[in-house]
Amino acid sequence: MSLRVLVVGGGGREHALAWRLARDPDVGEVLAVPGNPGIAAEARCVALDPTDVGAVADLAEREGVDLVVVGPEAPLVAGLADELRARGVPTFGPGRDGARLEGSKAWAKALCERYGIPTGRSRAVTSVADGLGALDELGPPYVVKADGLAAGKGVVVTEDRERAVRALEDCLLRGAFGEAGATVLVEEHLAGREVSAFALTDGRRVVPLGMAQDFKRALDGDAGPNTGGMGAYSPVPFVDAAAARAIWGGVLARTAEALAAEGVEYRGVLYAGLMLTADGPRVLEFNCRFGDPEAQVLMPRIREGLARALLACARGDLGDQRVELDDGACVTVVAASGGYPGAHETGFGIEGLEEAAAIPGAVVFHAGTALRDGRVVTAGGRVLAVSGLGDTIGRAREVAYEALARIRFRGMHHRSDIAAAAAAEGGAG
Ligand code: AMP
Ligand code: GLY
């Protein structure tokens, strides 16, 4: 095979996808929309808006690509995969119906309840009065979520009832998230450790890819505001064999079955955000795409067969495809702009990219960068994800931080405790 693959998106996750695909013996050429300066080293970048469904589909047709791999959720929710499939272009990523798994938390919860997929109790409400009842019924700590896509800002977890009520009112009275907050989910609070699990599916069969843990808070010790993710590592040593069985079989395989039973032909990634509770794994949320920055630790661990498996999913027939991860570990640390996730300046020159990439086992993924006068500059909140591979989490962590230490830009901020606890727990998991 000498596949021509189009990667949709321009962040760190899409750089990791393009980087892996460009090294896949089954891939002849990688294209990207819009890509970024890092992706440009692996792929031919075309400046298009990924949510401009018609324009992206036109490009895929014109270029005669064999496979489109959609990175972010927004184009999926906008129906990019539906349009591409309608034009006969094999596409990895669910259609609009499947993207509801991420696009409507209430729909995803209801699916879990109908098909016995383990998750916490919850109430979907559309009025403050019903919301207050749900807060009292489910008790503190309170968990209040906007139903739709809210760029990670739609979730409030709090002991403070007044804060919870304010979150309800923000959504239902003040329209803080527009349509996305017209329905609100009040959830039972779940205690435990969090893990992200990723599986590929063709709509019937499920192939486990791997697990990772990401770090959502901005500052060391899980302090500070929520972000898109400040780092990640894989594998996850605290997931034992029983939990892994419950996750692959009880959650992900069952979710694929549930989707099929609902008439949804889901061809893409199932990403479950899980809490490992004393009673076993429970779904916190689903996403319909790879995690960012989880992809930056999974892609470097893939041995072979990614393109073939993604294409098989896209064609709706996984057969007996498998994707193997290496036995080692990978850690990624995000270098963010000063002020992120709040207001931040961009346009600062980035030094040390080559020195960092020269460290054995290190890969520097671009997340928010741009080229200006031939120079790579910062162009977003999350600027780079610096990944390190090693035999153990501890070694991978050393490589990532050693590479990160070569990189400088004005205001650069990163966490210094990514994977520290997991490294101390030892082993490759
Ligand atoms: P979500 O976007 O739904 O993953 O929520 C963001 C974060 O809020 C999660 O990563 C958890 O840390 C926390 N969270 C969400 N739902 C719950 C819950 N039911 N119980 C405890 N923590 C939660
Ligand atoms: N790292 C969290 C996400 O991709 O949603």
Amino acid at 101: L
215 Cα to the center of ligand 2, angstroms: 9
298 Cα to the center of ligand 2, angstroms: 13
Amino acid at 96: R
Cα(77)–Cα(81) distance, integer angstroms: 9
254 Cα to the center of ligand 1, angstroms: 21
CB 378 within 8 A of CB 337: yes
Structure tokens belonging to residue 168: 């309800």
Residue nearest to atom 13 of ligand 1 (CA): 157
State the virtual CA torsion across 124, 217, 381, 398 in degrees, nearest 10: -140
Do 3-93 and 122-187 fold alike per CATH? Answer: no
Instruction: Report the topology of domain 122-187.
Output: Dna Ligase; domain 1 (3.30.1490)
Q: 294 CB under 6 A from ligand 2? A: yes
Q: 66 CB under 6 A from ligand 2? A: no
Residue 1 has what pLDDT?
Answer: 80
288 Cα to the center of ligand 1, angstroms: 17
Cα(72)–Cα(83) distance, integer angstroms: 16
Residue 426 has what pLDDT?
Answer: 62
The backbone torsions φ and ψ at residue 380, rounded to the nearest 5 degrees and listed phi first, read -165, -175
What does DSSP say about strands 268-277 and 193-201: parallel, antiparallel, or unpaired? antiparallel
Cα(7)–Cα(302) distance, integer angstroms: 17
The backbone torsions φ and ψ at residue 199, rounded to the nearest 5 degrees and listed phi first, read -135, 150
Q: 94 CB under 6 A from ligand 2? A: no
Q: 71 CB under 6 A from ligand 2? A: no
DSSP output for 213-231: EE--EEEGGGEEEE-S-SE
**Nearest CA among 358, 294, 333, 308 for reference residue 414:** 333
Residue nearest to atom 3 of ligand 1 (CA): 285
Q: 292 CB under 6 A from ligand 2? A: yes
Q: Where in the chain are the domains?
A: 3-93, 122-187, 191-325, 329-424
pTM of structure:
0.95
Which CATH code is given to the segment(s) 191-325?
3.30.470.20
Q: Report DSSP state, residue 300.
A: G
As for ligand 1, residues whose beta carbon falls within 6 Å of it are: 120, 143, 145, 155, 157, 187, 189-190, 194, 216, 273, 284-285
**Nearest CA among 75, 221, 81 for reference residue 149:** 75
DSSP E strand stretches across 57-169:
67-70, 91-92, 122-125, 142-146, 155-158
What does DSSP say about strands 184-187 and 231-234: parallel, antiparallel, or unpaired? unpaired
151 Cα to the center of ligand 2, angstroms: 10
Residue 428 has what pLDDT?
Answer: 43
Class of domain 329-424: alpha beta
Nearest ligand atom owner, CA of 72: 2
The backbone torsions φ and ψ at residue 307, rounded to the nearest 5 degrees and listed phi first, read -60, -45
| Residues paired with 304 in a beta bridge | 324
CB 99 within 8 A of CB 86: no
Residue 425 has what pLDDT?
Answer: 83
Q: Report DSSP state, residue 39.
A: G
What are the average pLDDT values for consecutive 10-residue runs of the chain, which has 429 residues?
Answer: 96 98 97 98 97 98 98 94 97 96 93 96 92 93 90 85 93 87 93 96 95 96 92 96 95 96 96 96 96 98 95 95 93 97 96 98 98 96 98 97 98 98 72
Determine whether 112 is exposed, middle or buried from the number of CB atoms within 10 Å of its CB (0-12, 13-18, 19+): buried
Nearest ligand atom owner, CA of 73: 2
284 Cα to the center of ligand 1, angstroms: 6
3-class DSSP assignment, residue 235: coil
Q: 231 CB under 6 A from ligand 2? A: no
Task: Please list, in sequence order, all residues whose beta carbon lies within 8 angstroms of the beta carbon of residue 276, skipping any fewer than 6 positions away.
Answer: 192, 193, 194, 195, 238, 239, 243
**Nearest CA among 198, 209, 201, 208 for reference residue 312:** 201
Nearest ligand atom owner, CA of 227: 2
Residue 142 has what pLDDT?
Answer: 95
Neighbouring CB atoms inside 10 A of 389's CB total 20
Ligand 2 atom at minimum distance from 229 CA: 1
109 Cα to the center of ligand 2, angstroms: 18
Say which CATH architecture domain 3-93 belongs to.
3-Layer(aba) Sandwich (3.40)
Nearest ligand atom owner, CA of 155: 1
The residue with tokens 């120079």 is 375
252 Cα to the center of ligand 1, angstroms: 18
Residue nearest to atom 4 of ligand 2 (CA): 291
Q: 285 CB under 6 A from ligand 2? A: no
Q: 235 CB under 6 A from ligand 2? A: no
Ligand 2 atom at minimum distance from 287 CA: 5
